[in-house]
Structure 1
Amino acid sequence: MNPCRPSIWRGTLNGYGPQAVTLLSTPLYSNTTLASFFPTVGLGGTVVLMTKFDVVEYLELAQKHRVTHSMMVPVQYQRLMAHPGFDSYDLSSFKRKFCTSAPFSAALKAEVLNRWPGGLVELYGMTEGGGTCMLAAHDFPHKLHTVGQPVPGNDVRIIDEKGNEVPQGGTGEVVGRSAAMMTEYHKQPQKTAEAEWYNRIGQRYIRTGDIGRFDEDGFLVLLDRKKDMIISGGFNRRCCTDARRRPVRLVGPDQNS
């Protein structure tokens, strides 16, 4: 399957096209970036790239180029909202803003909706491709505590510690499947097996490591992580076990110099 096709299809639903101007400030190798890059380029729009994220530069570029779309991680939204001059910039050209890769608080979503023109869409998923959920926050302002509903073509379920699927409203690990799932972790069969879950008819799902539940309307609420993990700038930094920790010596200026 061409990985660009679903991105372009979703792009038409989010206002991408020849008139779109997308401002990107995350690395091009990241799925976060590509989720907005592909539909922009595929539908004939313009991409404005930043070599490094800077709040003032971002706002100046957005105003100068009449940006319509942007994809960022939560910490970038947080820094933009905290800038004292944010409201002085003309951001009225925006149609959609996207966010993914880290927890996005309901309070921050609400602030973005209230102060920044255009819609706000949160995407929840994983690099391994085990199912994606989407929240159009502008359409569901009462669901900002969730990450939305599974997008078409994605199957997301909740399982307990024994690997049994839990009923609606039950809490457990989030697992998912899609047409874009990974085949395996390269030359790591044990890690691959640990990441897989199979339903009763043998369909393969990927474990996310997230704990969550579906509410009465089918929106996914994330509650916790099964394993410790640090997210920095939208990228995962997994904590090592005690056996792998090593002492670190910090070297700084000589106080006598």
Structure 2
Amino acid sequence: MNLPLLPDRRAAVAPSAPCLADDDVSLANDQFLDAVRRAASALRRHGVGAGDVVAVMLPNTAYLVVAVFAAWRLGAAVTPLNPSSSNDEAAYQVTDAAAKVLIVSEPVDLGVKAAVVTTGDLTADAAPDAFVVPADPSALALLIYTSGTTGRPKGVMLDHANLDAMCRTVIDAFDLTSADHSLLILPLFHANGIVVGTLSPLLAGGQTTIAGRFKAAEFFDRVERTRATYFSAVPTIYTMLADLPADQQPDTSSLRFAACGAAPASVDVLNRFESRYGVPIVEGYGLSEGTAASTVNPLHGVRKPGTVGLPMPGQQVRIADTDGNSVADGDAGEVLIAGPNVMRGYLNRPEETAKTLVDGWLRTGDIGRFDEDGYLVLVDRSKDMIIRGGENIYPKEIETVAYRMAGVAEAAVVGRAHPVYGEEPVMFVSASPGCVLDAESVSEYLADSLTKYKRPVEITVLDALPKNAVGKIDKPALRRGLVACTATN
């Protein structure tokens, strides 16, 4: 598909056709190409070339997409950062990725080696740069950072072949054409927002409108104005939309479908949304390590609520026991994935890569089973992971920060059920001998190093945390205590 030359191809075929828009900017194909060339020129001026990494820490805007294509044009890879990252989190990712340049909205000092380039600098060059590095399918394209049980996020390495395969699958699965218009509301630092919401419709000849901060009350106004044909969201968003006041009766006739992923969705929420707005929700499942999606309920065919659908074309999905052997039909086990969409590995983490990629299969850590029709049912998730409003939170990352605080002897984070967000993190701590801890001071300490959505909503100080038979902190006991407290309140 040659993603780096996509802007050129679109401009050559239909220069004045709409391509990319956000809350403030609307770019036709020729304008998009011009912006990409200018940005590529600016990056070259800062020494960016083939094999380098460009870090992008921007909110959802058209110029984030421009920056991605500009880097690819030079043969560089992109690592997108959550724009609400703390300085500590951002500095870690920029350093771990060895980024040569960091693109931001406003100047920032993270104490890193990367040159800081603002969006104003990015398109300031007067002479558009027509230079393009020859496409290499095996070249690194994206470094998507995903939280892990080691306490620090890992860089998922996706090459251009991964992206090409995933985009081709999405286009086929959703019948995307030049008539399609994606309304992007998911963050562009996740694979789903990049691949499903942006690259796939642009490759199909369609267009993308990038919405800024999501507001449920204003969402359908945007749908009506843009005449979007589809969008992708997480269960939390569908809950908010399904619960809008009854007097809101938007025109949803332009929408062909809506996609749902990132966390298990309530069948009740799916049914309430579909029956109210007349828009079918296509639920699927995937990981960053698989470039976004591996199973999906068919757009044309039986959609089974409570499942995450069938394996997508070109991918294999099987259920295995702890030794990697396939289980009997209908039995539960670990979900394994194989296909051209599977990552090349974790950046600078050969041991973790070897544990996750085994004999050509991606070990997801998720537990599932196939029903009688071959639809995947997720039974459980990776141990301890919390999904809050579609965002993956690994307790170990929070606990690692807590253990840096003087006076903290033990720390454990578990998920507590929430009616809108699905889950939220809560923390239990105990103090070192002779020390005194209070929840407020622990909360303030965590706030210096963690993005807001990762911070525990409640911190409880105990004399000691419960232990299991081998002396490890007993998280199941802590979870049971949360359930018991909820039941008695």
Q: TM-score, normalised by structure 2?
A: 0.47
Q: Max radius of gyration: which structure?
A: 2
Structure 2 residue 192 is the aligned partner of structure 1 residue 18: no
Q: Does 1:224 align with 2:380?
A: yes
Partner of 1:178: 339
SS of match in other structure, 1:3: helix
What are the ranges of 5 or more consecutive residues in structure 2 without an aligned counterpart? 1-160, 409-440, 445-489
Alignment partner, residue 102 of structure 1: 263
Corresponding position of 1:81? 242
Summarize the Cα distance change of 1:230–1:134 in structure 2 as closer, same or farther, 3 Å threshold: same
The structure 1 segments of at least 4 consecutive aligned residues displaced by more than 4 Å after TM superposition are none
Q: Is the 8 A contact 1:99 1:123 kept in 2?
A: yes
8 A contact 2:385–2:392 mirrored in 1: yes
Give the distance between the partners of 1:10 and 1:241, measured in 2 at CA.
32
Matches within 5 A, 1:51-200: 51-85=212-246, 87-129=248-290, 132-136=294-298, 139-141=301-303, 143-198=304-359
1:238 pairs with 389, 394, 397, which one?
394
Superposition TM-score, scaled by structure 1 size: 0.85
Between Structure 1 and Structure 2, how many residues are aligned?
Answer: 245
C-alpha distance in 1 between matches for 2:399 and 2:388:
23
The equivalent residue for 1:3 is 163
**Cα distance in 2 for residues equivalent to 1:73 and 1:61:** 18
Distance 1:64 1:57, change over 3 A: same
Identity %: 32
Separation (CA, whole Å) in 1 of partners of 2:379 and 2:300: 22
Q: Is the 8 A contact 2:183 2:197 kept in 1?
A: no
Find the residue that maps to 1:209 and give its secondary structure.
strand
Name the structure with the higher helix share.
Answer: 2
Q: What is the Cα deviation at residue 136 of structure 1?
A: 2.9
**Structure 1 unaligned runs (5+)?**
199-203, 252-257
Give, in angstroms, the shift of residue 161 of structure 1: 2.1
- The answer (yes or no) to whether the contact 1:8–1:43 under 8 Å persists in 2 is no
3-state SS, counterpart of residue 136 of structure 1: coil
**Once structures 1 and 2 are overlaid, which stretch shifts more, 23-32 or 211-220?**
23-32
* 1:137 CA displacement: 6.8
Aligned with 1:43 (options 191, 201, 204): 204
Which residue of 2 is the match for residue 201 of structure 1?
Answer: none
Given that residues 307 and 378 in structure 2 are in contact (C-alpha distance below 8 angstroms), is that contact kept between their aligned partners in structure 1?
yes
Q: Could you tell which deviates more after superposition, 242-251 or 116-125?
A: 242-251
What is the aligned counterpart of 2:442 among 227, 243, 249?
249
Quote how far apart the aligned CAs of 1:221 are. 0.8
> Take 1:243 and 1:13, find their aligned partners in 2: how far apart are those partners?
40
Asked if the contact 1:213–1:222 (Cα under 8 Å) also holds between the matched residues in 2, the reply is yes
